[in-house]
Amino acid sequence: MTAGARQSTTPATGVLTAPRRAARGRAADTLYVLIDLNGDTASSVLDELKRRITDAYWSMPGSVTSALRAAITAGGEWLMDRNTTTPVADRQTGGMTCAVLRGVEVYIAQAGLACAYVTQHGSIERLPAPDAEPMPPLGMSRANDIRFAHAELQPGDGLLLTDARAPGRIPIESIANAMVDAGIETALRNLEHLAGDGDLIALLVQVAAIPEMIAKPVGPASPVVVERPTSPPVRAVSTPSRATPATASTPVVTPLARTTPLPVKTESAPIETVTAPREPRTATARAWLSALVLGVRRGFGSVGTAGQALAQRTLPESTIAQRRGARAAGSNHTPMMAGIAIGIPIVVSLLFVTIFIQRSTQAEVEAQLAEAQNEITAASPLTGAAARAHWQSAIDKANEALQLAPDNAAATQYIAQAQAALDQIDHVTRVKPAVLYDFKSLGQHRLALQGYSMFALDRGSNQIDRLTLNAAGDGIEGGGPEHIYSPGVSIDNKVPGNLIDQVWVSAGEKRQTNALIVLHQNGLFEYELTFGLNGLDFGTNTAPSGARRLRSYMANLYVLDPAASQIWRYSPKDNAYTEPAQPYFAQPVSGTAKAIDMAIDGNIYVLGSDGQIAKYLGGDAEAFQINGLAEPLRQPVVIAVDTNVPESSVWVADQSGRRIVQLRPDGQFVRQFRADGPAFDAIEDMVIDEQNHRLFVVSGGVLYTVQLPPVQ
């Protein structure tokens, strides 16, 4: 669904059965695929990605999980290869969910930004779990994090694959009410209602008991043909192409689209999910045209007999008599003349239908534009939420017109006008980020800034680069980065473990040197601008097993550890951090288990995967409530402050809205930023320089800078 409208095709999903030459053990499998990429994705990209996934799955023998791993790996590597050779604006990242149904067992594999729900025995479970650590998006690294799940589905149970944004818009309780104890048609109607005027990619699988269907008796070697009653509305259905054991449950697979009743039967070739578009007023003419073309094919196929009969009804009596004489004399012109007699009315009819469709389409476009104009007129005197609904409706109507007439200038103008009005209501500032450097390594980057030195840690390639900014902060000196750490480099005769995070630490009472401090699996090392790399003693010389983020304040180090529901504090001693870790909280805080990031300016701000922000001072909770933000944080990824500015704003990157939100220290909304271009499409990290009104963000492997306008 796009802006509340059902789409005629679902290129982001696939329901596939084994080809003839599938690897051993794959013949009875049914593969379900849902791909969720950022931005507008060409169907050719989705088709090629699905092809890579399915080819790898069907060709891999062995266990289901090993085949699923091979499939997702093949898709992820192809997407990354494409991104490394594609301009920044055209790069695609995201995630996918692949599920395999074998008998009553379902195996689920997910990578990147993904979401699925399993209903069993009246309960529902979301995958991955809401408190699980987010997986890096696909297309940013060759090393993809893949998570697996397994369940046994009984009659009445179901599987729902959705895009990763769905949980932020639709509570799990509403999903449960929509699916549990509901037939597939009812569940789909409920999901459409929950999506409202938003976007949704979904693939619904529901297990129906064999006794509830009418199965035709077949021989042991024949495929089972299952028929469903066609009296109620039936949506697009496909079934596996292999025989289903009589004792097993039969899956009914339905994409989120509406269609007419279809008989369900098995076939030898892989079955594509069939959907029907939501037709405009030209639907009748198009159906007529399809029937007419079919009639042309059949008419010319039997021109010898039917053509003669038609010619006898069409031509004058004298001509008929002459042709009878010519036929008696052995003339061969009769079939040709019959073909001409058929062809002339068909050509005329085709021209008529074409003109009819064009005029009907134009009428539909004009109607949608008129409705858009009416919504703009209604919105103009209003403010706030009252105006929002009309402006959004104007965009929806204009988009419908653009679907019919992609080059319509009026529709484009209406959308721009309405979007500008919505931006004003929501305090959105449009910015034009400038590219500083393309790392061409689409890993998970961490940034640290000190003066004119920008440090970029790439967790995917396990290296650190230093880039020197120019005086204005909008360019890079020297044309490229300096590699200050590469994989396998020994520091004080020790090779560090996998890099986790980095932070710049300034000298203070307890520490006499300025340095970039890097946290890795086996401890710490530092980089000084003058002396380079040095080992650094660190407690037990191992990082906490759940370490996610490293921050610093007053030379102390703070490590966010969601696995322990704790923040660990390390105090310096003799320029090192040899003292044992101290817990920041007297008791583990349960909410910290959902933490994905934190920022420190004296207060500690902890960002949860659910969009909630908790504020602490000295281990105690402080008041912090987000107020004034019309659209809540749905998929937050990073939180940041500027430690060089007293009472710094709190900045949050929200992936679902491709935006960066500015809040006051008490949570009051100030404004939000959206980018022209892809700079906010796949944010990995950001750094705020409030003193110089500049924001740095790394997104999709590219470092950008943004000039921040003053607050009005």
Q: What is the pLDDT of residues 511-528, one digit of tens each?
A: 888 999 999 999 999 999
Whether residues 600 and 500 share a domain: the answer is yes
Question: How high is the pLDDT of residue 432?
Answer: 93
Is residue 279 pLDDT above 50, yes or no?
no
Are 415 and 436 contained in the same domain? Answer: no
The pLDDT tens digits for 476-498 are 998 789 999 999 899 988 899 99
Which of the two residues, 364 and 567, has the higher pLDDT score? Answer: 567
> Is there a single domain that holds both residue 18 and residue 140?
yes
Residues 543 and 571 placed together within one structural domain of the fold = yes
Of 403, 425, 447, at which residue does a domain stop? 425
At 192 the three-state DSSP class reads: helix
Q: Minimal CA–CA distance to 49: which of 89, 12, 10, 87?
A: 12
Greater pLDDT, 223 or 254? 254
- Residue 227 above 60 pLDDT? no
CA distance 516 to 482: 15
- Beta-carbon contacts of 143 under 8 Å, excluding residues fewer than 6 positions away, are 460
92/286 Cα distance (integer angstroms):
35
**pLDDT-based confidence at 561, cuts 50/70/90?**
very high
Using 50, 70 and 90 to split pLDDT, how confident is the model at 215? very low
Residue 380 and residue 451 share a domain: no
Nearest Cα to Cα of residue 690 among 712, 704, 669, 706: 706
268 lies in some domain: no
- Stretch 429-439: mean pLDDT: 93
In which domain, by residue range, is 153 found? 13-255
Residues 341 and 462 in one domain: no
Describe the crossing of helices 172-179 and 184-195 by its angle, rounded to 10 degrees.
Answer: 150
Considering only CA atoms, which of 643, 8, 67 is closest in space to residue 273?
Answer: 8
Domain-located, residue 260: no
Q: Where a domain ends, among 255, 279, 300?
A: 255
Amino acid letter, residue 512: Q
The amino acid sitting at 227 is: E
**HSE toward the beta carbon, residue 49, CA cutoff 13 A:** 34
In tens, the pLDDT along 615-635 reads 999 999 999 999 999 889 988
Shared domain check, 679 and 631? yes
State both tokens at 27: 């013949």
Supply the CATH number for residue 645's domain. Answer: 2.120.10.30
Q: Which residue has the higher pLDDT, 563 or 90?
A: 563
Do the Cβ atoms of 112 and 144 come closer than 8 Å? yes
In a domain, 439, yes or no: yes
Strand partners, 226: 215
Q: What is the pLDDT of residue 601?
A: 93
Q: How far is CA 375 from CA 4, 409, 601, in A?
A: 17, 18, 46
Retrieve residue 123's tokens.
Answer: 């309960």
Q: How does pLDDT run across 234-267, given as a tens digit for each residue? A: 233 333 333 333 333 444 444 444 333 333 333 3
- Structural contact between residues 232 and 212, judged by C-beta atoms closer than 8 angstroms: no
The token duo for 252 is 């009914």
Q: 608 pLDDT exceeds 90?
A: yes
* Structural domain count, the chain: 3
Token representation of residue 302 = 């039997």
CA gap 638, 657 in Å, rounded: 13
| Residues 162 and 292 occupy one common structural domain | no
Question: How do strand 669-675 and strand 428-431 relate by DSSP bridges?
Answer: parallel
Higher per-residue confidence, 561 vs 344: 561
- pLDDT per position as a tens digit, 96-121: 999 999 888 899 999 998 999 999 87
pLDDT digits 0-9 by tens, 359-406: 678 888 888 899 999 999 988 888 888 888 899 899 999 998 988 888
674-700 per-position pLDDT tens digit: 998 889 988 999 999 998 899 999 998
Which band of pLDDT confidence, cut at 50, 70 and 90, is reported for residue 66? confident
What pLDDT does 268 receive?
32
DSSP letter, residue 403: H
Does residue 263 fall inside a structural domain? no
Are residue 421 and residue 433 in the same domain, yes or no?
no
Tracing tokens 């408190």 back to the chain, one arrives at 131
User: Is 274 contained in some domain?
Assistant: no
- We report the CATH number of the domain holding residue 70 as 3.60.40.10
Q: Would you say residue 1 lies in a domain?
A: no
* Coil vs helix vs strand at 301: helix
Residues 406 and 461 in one domain: no
Residue 542 phi, psi dihedral angles, 5° rounding: -140, 145
Asked whether residue 283 is domain-assigned, the answer is: no
Burial 183-201 (b: 16+ CB within 10 A, else e): ebeebbbbbbebbeeeebb
* Residue, of 249 and 49, whose pLDDT is higher: 49
* Residue the block writes with tokens 């697996």: 148
Q: From CA 547, how far away is CA 522, in angstroms rounded? A: 12
Helix/strand/coil (H/E/C) assignment for every residue in 342-399: HHHHHHHHHHHHHHHHHHHHHHHHHHHHHHHHHHHHHHCCCCHHHHHHHHHHHHHHHH
Q: Are residues 415 and 439 in the same domain?
A: no
Helix (H) or strand (E) holding 35: strand 30-37
Q: Is the pTM of this model over 0.75?
A: no
Question: Do 512 and 649 sit in the same domain of this protein?
Answer: yes
Nearest to 253 by CA among 65, 36, 16: 16
Between the alpha carbon of residue 711 and those of residues 53, 121, 146, the distances in Å are 48, 53, 43
Could you give the 3-state DSSP secondary structure of residue 599? Answer: strand
Assigned domain for 188 exists: yes
Domain end (from 365, 395, 425): 425
According to DSSP, the β-strands at 226-227 and 445-450 are: unpaired
Least confident window among 335-344, 599-608, 695-704: 335-344
Grade residue 35 by pLDDT with cuts at 50, 70 and 90: very high
* Distance from the Cα of residue 83 to its chain's centroid: 16
Query: Which stretch of 20-29, 217-226, 469-478, 482-491 has the lowest confidence by average pLDDT?
Result: 217-226
The helix/strand/coil state of 596 is strand
